[in-house]
Structure 1
């Protein structure tokens, strides 16, 4: 399929397919990265309270000179604030120095206190709090969604939801295809946002033989193929991340991939499956979240 530039959310809003991710971007670096990305054409910026860089992301937006209404801005409710959703919302708005969010996500379906699972609170109740805020403050919240939710989690959520999540942000790349999540969300009008498109830390997929072969065929860099892997699929958006100007600019390029290209990329998962953000990485497998075994696919 040809690469696309935006997807329509179930709210009717348009979400740019390509965004700048800011996970692990240090505050002193992310300000300039956001400013530069917006100056060269990015219009989708993704951050989170847990990243500790919302303030600098907001400063980068201001420095870019790009009008706020032209930017799709996402941040996330932190795990430690599941019981204080409204407080968390106001803190993020203040840190970002903005009056509204285009998208607010529940970062994980995992309420925590002091770094441990909060077994007194159900994450479904957190979603209900987010729904209430979405309805109460339409001028502050344009859309709400979830992150790191498997099909099992979504099947528990949707029958109890009065607002269907607009987006589910998950790790997604050729070594973690999550076809079941893609199919489930697509059928229900939930957009998928792919984080770690290069395979996360160390960008391991850049050296993959299939990726390099397809890159050579199209005369582009392997990163372009991996970012285009999501951009060529309906209902997906993608968040490459960098604080380096050259890479930010290079990551802004997407190409049309053939159906055969996509089939070959899908097959990588069959022999080289891995995911960066699993229970071993988070430590949450030992913090009282038995449902999180779904991460260890």
Structure 2
């Protein structure tokens, strides 16, 4: 299965990002390697890591040993806030750890500390993209005013903003603000703030003979919101990947949206 066999979203004319990804936070060492290998075997074609996760070497090893073509696996990593001013050095270190010539997406993991300007960091990410070290660049944990600051200063919007997202955090206006700016919204920790025993989710899950977690993931995908569930349990990894036969109705989508505060 190639990554284009799954629903994707365009980041640019030549870069498409699978809407379902595999998160690797806290998945380190041999356990992290085994989890990524299991995810790729289960059909994931998008792996999300970060310099601060300390597992880029394991992620890269799993990608290489998966038997998949490099172009069929979308790899994201992130610049930590303590590396501001050492952007090029950091992406080059990440590429060496991953064993890759380039990543598909490089993100600013968190905005620089309060009062610091994100624009110089953003310019460095754009330069890394233009140098071919990454195919696309974006940010993580940015609010809308900070996104606008980058756009106004450079004329280039981040391709992606990765933020905490789930049905209970659904914010129609914030979703619209990303769409209006041409920024793909990517959600992390989809289950952490979700009550998987919520009657709405259990009812919809029962109607489709799937788990509430699968409903949550399909809800993200149907909104064209990238989602990166994380697990180190092979069975759960496989179940979380098995969402493409589900089709939520418009009414079910509205019911889940209504769980947002």
Compute the TM-score of the two structures, normalised by the length of structure 2: 0.92
Give, in angstroms, the shift of residue 178 of structure 1. 3.2
Return the alpha-carbon distance in structure 2 between the equivalents of residues 178 and 89 of structure 1. Answer: 33
> What secondary structure sits across from 1:207 in the alignment?
coil
The farther-off stretch of 98-107 and 207-216 is 207-216
Say yes or no: does 1:194 pair with 2:192: no
Give, in angstroms, the shift of residue 188 of structure 1. 2.0
Return the alpha-carbon distance in structure 1 between the equivalents of residues 223 and 117 of structure 2. Answer: 33
Return the alpha-carbon distance in structure 2 between the equivalents of residues 177 and 209 of structure 1. Answer: 17
Give, in angstroms, the shift of residue 133 of structure 1. 2.0
The farther-off stretch of 22-31 and 223-232 is 22-31
Which of 140, 145, 148 is residue 141 of structure 2 equivalent to?
A: 148
Return the alpha-carbon distance in structure 2 between the equivalents of residues 179 and 76 of structure 1. Answer: 27
Compute the TM-score of the two structures, normalised by the length of structure 1: 0.81
Return the alpha-carbon distance in structure 1 between the equivalents of residues 143 and 207 of structure 2. Answer: 34
Give the alignment's Cα RMSD to 1 decimal: 1.6
Distance 1:75 1:164, change over 3 A: same
Aligned to 2:178: 185
Give, in angstroms, the shift of residue 11 of structure 1. 4.2
Q: Kindly indicate whether the alpha-carbon contact (under 8 Å) linking 1:6 and 1:14 is maintained by their aligned counterparts in 2.
A: yes
Matches within 5 A, 1:1-297: 5-111=7-113, 121-135=116-130, 137-138=131-132, 140-199=133-192, 204-234=194-224, 236-254=225-243, 255-270=246-261
Give, in angstroms, the shift of residue 86 of structure 1. 0.5
Give, in angstroms, the shift of residue 23 of structure 1. 1.2
Give, in angstroms, the shift of residue 156 of structure 1. 1.9
Give, in angstroms, the shift of residue 231 of structure 1. 0.7
Aligned to 1:279: none
Count, aligned residues: 254
Q: Kindly indicate whether the alpha-carbon contact (under 8 Å) linking 1:39 and 1:66 is maintained by their aligned counterparts in 2.
A: no
Return the alpha-carbon distance in structure 2 between the equivalents of residues 129 and 26 of structure 1. Answer: 28
> What secondary structure sits across from 2:121 in the alignment?
helix
Return the alpha-carbon distance in structure 2 between the equivalents of residues 84 and 96 of structure 1. Answer: 18
Q: Kindly indicate whether the alpha-carbon contact (under 8 Å) linking 1:11 and 1:166 is maintained by their aligned counterparts in 2.
A: no
Q: Kindly indicate whether the alpha-carbon contact (under 8 Å) linking 1:131 and 1:162 is maintained by their aligned counterparts in 2.
A: no
Give, in angstroms, the shift of residue 97 of structure 1. 1.0
Return the alpha-carbon distance in structure 1 between the equivalents of residues 197 and 62 of structure 2. Answer: 32
* Unaligned stretches of 5+ residues in structure 1: 112-116, 271-297
Q: Kindly indicate whether the alpha-carbon contact (under 8 Å) linking 2:8 and 2:19 is maintained by their aligned counterparts in 1.
A: yes
Return the alpha-carbon distance in structure 2 between the equivalents of residues 129 and 267 of structure 1. Answer: 40
Return the alpha-carbon distance in structure 2 between the equivalents of residues 265 and 217 of structure 1. Answer: 14
> What secondary structure sits across from 1:211 in the alignment?
helix
Give, in angstroms, the shift of residue 170 of structure 1. 0.9
Q: Kindly indicate whether the alpha-carbon contact (under 8 Å) linking 1:73 and 1:103 is maintained by their aligned counterparts in 2.
A: yes
Return the alpha-carbon distance in structure 1 between the equivalents of residues 192 and 195 of structure 2. Answer: 6
Return the alpha-carbon distance in structure 2 between the equivalents of residues 11 and 170 of structure 1. Answer: 24
* Unaligned stretches of 5+ residues in structure 2: 1-5
Return the alpha-carbon distance in structure 1 between the equivalents of residues 170 and 232 of structure 2. Answer: 26
